[in-house]
Structure 1
């Protein structure tokens, strides 16, 4: 109800210039999307994200603290990777005294827009490719003491090219779960309940507990199911508490969740292995990222795919 009646942020003029803290000027070419609190402009070389609330400051803080380009490059070399989809913020600042903004290089288009355009679920091969890339990003940010806390198709960007470039964006809800190496304690109601995209957030987020590593991995599991089968048991529910009740029920019965989503189609063994593992994680437990990724990438190879190949969309 709050969101429904919230005032919509006034859009800026297309062609208007903004100046970042370093004095660089950026021209806003085209308004891409608009919500009650955020504007997203896209151009040939940039993605402008501007908002009036404090969430964008949270994203800026995360990017400056835990996603420095030098740290990302070092991680890529250490782990012998070909790509890691962490966005690089190339400018930030305030505009007209009330719009806080971030500037990013062009990262392609959102997965949400691709799925809407295709109007049909994604193949298992594509979903496994996406999951492997996103899992890489989650492992990196978790190693830097943060969780994303809002994994969904609107926060995944894909850039067509010679290899699969999949970015995980939208760090407005990013949370430092392990400051100074000490994991936060589990406590219901320590944060606002149901924060993030309600369909895909973890049960912890529904309860208002601080998100942890398992929250991100469980959200990714829900996304995988939705992208491939087109549904989740709670997709049609409108009340967050009803959604939470359904998630609690199926966390304890992964087979029933898979059976309902896949229907008459054969249930993917890779999905079952992944979901069973992440649903049984303890709050402070460190996930076995390697084992999770091996399970997904092995299934991908059996389907004739590979993580680094272009996405077959």
Structure 2
């Protein structure tokens, strides 16, 4: 051993190491090619040429200096452990911001097993331990971010927005919209976990006590779903666009709510102002079944609204009784509201592709959502028409085969079964009563629609209108409940 140490002392080494990054360098290099650090010149020939190891350092002392090293056979670490005023071994690597961040990440796994180490030129790359039986992609840690590939993939998915706890407004509260118009809260009409609906009047109105001047204020979290509804109303349901559509289609009415204004309340809430649109359908029905004549009348009016929405690249995605309002008059107006779930299925004229498992199951009742929604597919035009068909059956018969189920998968299985066999669906819902030929025609046509296919709205409406006429009904007459 002493002979080998003596031989090592006499042998001259023609290389040295960068004091900044530890990269092996030739003796004549003045700058490090890896980090660009200027190599200091020393008057000591032994330091300038590389170095010679001192004779006063025994192997036992070297072992003591290196006993905390992770790998005692790693030549890089051995050089890093040597220290002496007479020698210039390869310096230990300096800790960088990445290494400090990595250390914090690896603390979570310290109690499980020591981290393994992979030697890289000029750098040390540490990997957390891989548990027995665990996939390696779960254990691989990115040096820059300390995250795994799987967590990176999940971070790209849309995360649910933080919901703000809503507080009830007191009667008499004043709110100002973006145009400067002031509104006074009169009373709370309804509320849910994410939205409040109030009756309001415009401040200074001469008819402030009249129902003709009352408006509806809908308020929700500033960045919640009400933002999506505002975006739809401004993009696809401007009053000028609705009037133009009515004129082109030679219609008398179209149940798109007119947005009179919008604004913000404090820094947390967003509100929309609508003209009065009457009562919700459940409050009008009062848990009673509707006659077929009324259901056909309602469906014709709602088809008109869906035709307009779909022609403007959107689908409603939440057709149900709670989103239908009735304004009584000489000709009953039927409004479809609640566009917080509206989806742009055909941006710039390009229909979205069919892909299952891409979207979460929408909120709300399982009874009326479409099969596409159950499968995690972005909803299309046939989805709205399918939901409307479920509503028709429920309003008239009060029965749906899946009404008593709460498991979404079981509900989806039954919907698929009965949409493949529409006569069986009607037989289940109508029971001993005679089936409706109008219902059968509508549901069969909807069940046969392809994902990107454009429905024939005129034909669907014409068949429903003809069935309504056979029941001595007419669209110009008031609805009968």
Give the alignment's TM-score, normalised by structure 1.
Answer: 0.95
Rounded to whole Å, the distance in 2 between the matches of 1:108 and 1:176 is 28
1:77-105 residue CA offsets vs partner (Å, 9 max, x unmatched) = 11110100001111111102111111100
1:200-239 residue CA offsets vs partner (Å, 9 max, x unmatched) = 0101111221110000000000000001111211112122
Query: Alpha-carbon deviation of 1:8?
Result: 5.7
2:312 equivalent in structure 1? 144
- Alpha carbons 2:216, 2:274 under 8 Å: kept: yes
Specify which structure has the bigger relative contact order, considering alpha-carbon pairs within 8 angstroms and separated by 6 or more residues.
1
Query: Alpha-carbon deviation of 1:242?
Result: 2.2
- Alpha carbons 1:7, 1:36 under 8 Å: kept: no
Rounded to whole Å, the distance in 2 between the matches of 1:124 and 1:207 is 31
Query: Alpha-carbon deviation of 1:309?
Result: 1.1
Establish whether residue 101 from structure 1 lines up as the match of residue 271 from structure 2: yes
- Alpha carbons 1:194, 1:240 under 8 Å: kept: no
Establish whether residue 265 from structure 1 lines up as the match of residue 422 from structure 2: no
Map of 1:87-126 to 2, 5 A cutoff?
Answer: 87-115=257-285, 117=286, 119-126=287-294
- Alpha carbons 1:212, 1:284 under 8 Å: kept: yes
Rounded to whole Å, the distance in 1 between the matches of 2:410 and 2:184 is 44
Establish whether residue 203 from structure 1 lines up as the match of residue 348 from structure 2: no
2:174 equivalent in structure 1? 17
Rounded to whole Å, the distance in 2 between the matches of 1:299 and 1:56 is 38
1:187-206 residue CA offsets vs partner (Å, 9 max, x unmatched) = 11222124443210101111
Match of residue 218, structure 2, among 49, 55, 58: 49
Task: Say which SS state the counterpart of residue 248 (structure 1) adopts.
Answer: helix
1:132 equivalent in structure 2? 300
1:38 equivalent in structure 2? 195
Query: Alpha-carbon deviation of 1:154?
Result: 0.5
2:414 equivalent in structure 1? 246
Match of residue 162, structure 1, among 303, 327, 330: 330
1:86 equivalent in structure 2? 256
- Alpha carbons 1:193, 1:209 under 8 Å: kept: no
Rounded to whole Å, the distance in 1 between the matches of 2:364 and 2:463 is 28
Match of residue 66, structure 1, among 224, 236, 241: 236
1:287 equivalent in structure 2? 455
Establish whether residue 75 from structure 1 lines up as the match of residue 265 from structure 2: no
Structure 1 stretch displaced more, 142-151 or 92-101: 92-101
Task: Say which SS state the counterpart of residue 154 (structure 1) adopts.
Answer: helix
Rounded to whole Å, the distance in 2 between the matches of 1:210 and 1:15 is 42
2:101 equivalent in structure 1? none
In the alignment, structure 2 segments of 5+ residues that lack a partner are: 1-162, 201-210
1:3 equivalent in structure 2? none
Give the alignment's TM-score, normalised by structure 2.
Answer: 0.62
Structure 1 stretch displaced more, 175-184 or 34-43: 34-43
1:218 equivalent in structure 2? 386
Establish whether residue 304 from structure 1 lines up as the match of residue 461 from structure 2: no
Task: Say which SS state the counterpart of residue 90 (structure 1) adopts.
Answer: strand
Task: Say which SS state the counterpart of residue 226 (structure 1) adopts.
Answer: helix
Match of residue 397, structure 2, among 223, 229, 232: 229
Task: Say which SS state the counterpart of residue 261 (structure 1) adopts.
Answer: helix
In the alignment, structure 1 segments of 5+ residues that lack a partner are: 1-5
- Alpha carbons 2:318, 2:369 under 8 Å: kept: yes
Larger Cα-atom Rg = 2
Q: Kindly report the root-mean-square deviation, in angstroms, between the aligned alpha carbons of the 2 structures.
A: 1.3
Count of aligned positions: 306
